[in-house]
Amino acid sequence: MNRHIGSNFDDYLNDDGLIEEVSAAALKRVIAWQLAEAMKAQKVSKKALAERMHTSRTAVDRALDQNDAGMTLATLASAARALGQHVEVRLVPNADPRLATT
């Protein structure tokens, strides 16, 4: 019998040990999207952002790549700062205590 019948997706991810990986990837995608939206709103090119960050255009491309899970928080924070923003990461308690590991 399938142990996941009647459970939610978070239960499945937690049981398979994937929830942290999926959450981190989702966070990176959201931040990359927000950076791209801020660039559009401010009419800032990748080249201009790279200059503001004192880095290369390649580093900006990586920061904006929603699938590049290896991007550091420091680089994302630098990009945000160059756009007049900041990155906020915080710990919050699980809404569902079943998701806590034992």
* Residue 10 maps to a domain: no
Report which listed range, 7-16, 32-41, 57-66, is most confident: 32-41
Q: How far apart are CA 15 and CA 30, in angstroms?
A: 24
pLDDT score at 42: 97
**Is residue 69 in some structural domain?**
yes
Nearest to 98 by CA among 1, 5, 13, 2: 13
The answer to whether residue 73 is domain-embedded is yes
Q: Which domain holds residue 71?
A: 31-88
**To which H or E segment does residue 55 belong?**
none
Q: How many domains does the chain have?
A: 1
Q: pLDDT for 38-86, tens place per residue?
A: 999 999 999 999 999 999 999 999 889 988 877 788 888 899 999 999 9
**Between the CA of residue 26 and those of 8, 41, 57, 59, 82, what are the distances in Å?**
18, 22, 23, 20, 22
Q: What is the pLDDT of residue 57?
A: 94
For CA atoms 61, 71, 89, 80, give the dihedral sign: negative
Instruction: Summarize the confidence of residues 8-27 as an average pLDDT.
Output: 71
65: domain CATH number is 1.10.260
In a domain, 9, yes or no: no
